[in-house]
């Protein structure tokens, strides 16, 4: 289930802290210093105060599953592959983001389960998304 494809994405400067962070094994979110809050999905401006966003923050890389779905009919590069877990993960100290999840013990996959970022090797082509592993110690 960890064998997820890379995806060809058109990325702009505001997208790079997050996707570059994943390549280093970190969860990085854009941050509005004025509001002292994350900006998610990443944007060039904070949607509360509309200040330009200059900074980012590296989070602990842990959180819990807000919801998940085992997807049997993927599309695009996810088509014709084994089922994979699409999820929303509520990050500790950060936003709820879309992600993939892997559970070494399938029975542990549940809403509310604790998860930790599982670094992925760089894909042959495209970019890797955020992959979390169920980890009761996270």
Partner 1 sequence: MSRAPLAYVAGIYEHPDRAIDDRSLASVYLEIVAGVLADAGLSISDIDGFHTSLNPGGMPAMADLLGLSGIRHFDGTDLGGATYVSSLGTAARAIQAGDASVVLVVMAGLPRRGLFNRAVPGPHAVYELAHGSTLVGQYALAAQRHMHEFGTTRADLAEIKVASAYHASFNPNAMLPKRVTLDEVLEQPPIAEPLHRMDCCVVSDGGGAFILVNEEVARSLGKPLVGVVAQAETTRNWDNGRLDLTHTGAIQTGAQAFAQAGMSPADVDYASIYDSFTITVLLTLEDLGFCEKGQGGRFVRDGALLSPSGVLPLNTDGGGLSNNHPDMRGGMIRTIEAVRQLRGQAHPELQVPSCEVAIVHGSGFSLGARAMSSTSILVRES
Could you list the beta-strand ranges (E) of 72-122: 84-91, 96-102, 114-117
Judged by CB under 8 A, does residue 58 bind partner 1? no
Judged by CB under 8 A, does residue 108 bind partner 1? no
**Residues in contact with partner 1, total (CB under 8 A)?**
49
Instruction: Report the C-alpha gap between 43 and 15 in whole angstroms.
Output: 8
Contacts of partner 1 in 9-28 (CB under 8 A)? 9-11, 15, 18-19
* Closest distance to partner 1 from the beta carbon of 136 (Å): 18
Tokens of 63: 């959180």
Instruction: Report the C-alpha gap between 90 and 79 in whole angstroms.
Output: 26
Region from 53-61, 76-84, 114-122 binding partner 1, contact rule CB under 8 A = 76-84
Radius of gyration from C-alpha coordinates of the chain: 15
Using the rule CB under 8 A, which residue among 34, 66, 119, 138 binds partner 1?
A: 66
Judged by CB under 8 A, does residue 1 bind partner 1? no
From residue 81, alpha-carbon distances to 5, 31, 115, 122 in Å are 9, 35, 24, 19
Judged by CB under 8 A, does residue 72 bind partner 1? yes
Judged by CB under 8 A, does residue 78 bind partner 1? yes
Judged by CB under 8 A, does residue 54 bind partner 1? no
């Amino acid at each position: 289930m960890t064998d997820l494809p890379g995806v060809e994405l058109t990325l702009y400067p505001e997208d790079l802290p997050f996707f570059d962070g994943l390549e280093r094994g970190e969860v990085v979110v854009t941050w509005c210093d004025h509001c002292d809050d994350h900006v998610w999905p990443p944007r060039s401006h904070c949607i509360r105060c509309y200040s330009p966003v200059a900074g980012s923050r590296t989070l602990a890389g842990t959180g819990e599953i807000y919801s998940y779905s085992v997807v049997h009919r993927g599309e695009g590069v996810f088509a014709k592959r084994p089922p994979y877990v699409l999820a929303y993960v509520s990050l500790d100290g950060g936003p709820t983001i879309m992600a993939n999840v892997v559970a070494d013990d399938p029975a542990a996959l549940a809403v509310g389960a604790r998860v930790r970022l599982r670094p992925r090797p760089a894909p042959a082509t495209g970019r890797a998304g955020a992959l979390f592993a169920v980890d009761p110690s996270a």
